[in-house]
Amino acid sequence: AQGWYQSAADSASNLYSGAADRASNLYSGASGRASRAASQLRSQAQSVSETVQQNPGTFSTAMLIGGLVGLLAGMAISRNPDPEPDWLHRWRR
């Protein structure tokens, strides 16, 4: 019986060690990918920043148009077929 427990303990230890190694490899790979993504993001942000500095009027126009489109979309989504909201009926009683 003692040998069986030792064998089970060794198997569990090997399983844990293998899982820890795989997790470490996964973390290392994810860390490298995250570092590359952050570097690329910084590069793109710098490029956008330079473009905005060179063309401030174009950027302002784009932001204004985006804001208007967002406002119109919000108004269209919030449109209610019932002209009087439910809370208004409560105050009329």
pLDDT recorded at residue 70: 94
pLDDT score of 66:
93
Q: What is the pLDDT of residue 78?
A: 81
How many Cα neighbours within 13 Å face the side chain of 80? Answer: 5
Regions in the chain scoring below 50 on pLDDT: none
In order, the DSSP letters of 7-54 are HHHHHHHHHHHHHHHHHHHHHHHHHHHHHHHHHHHHHHHHHHHHHHHH
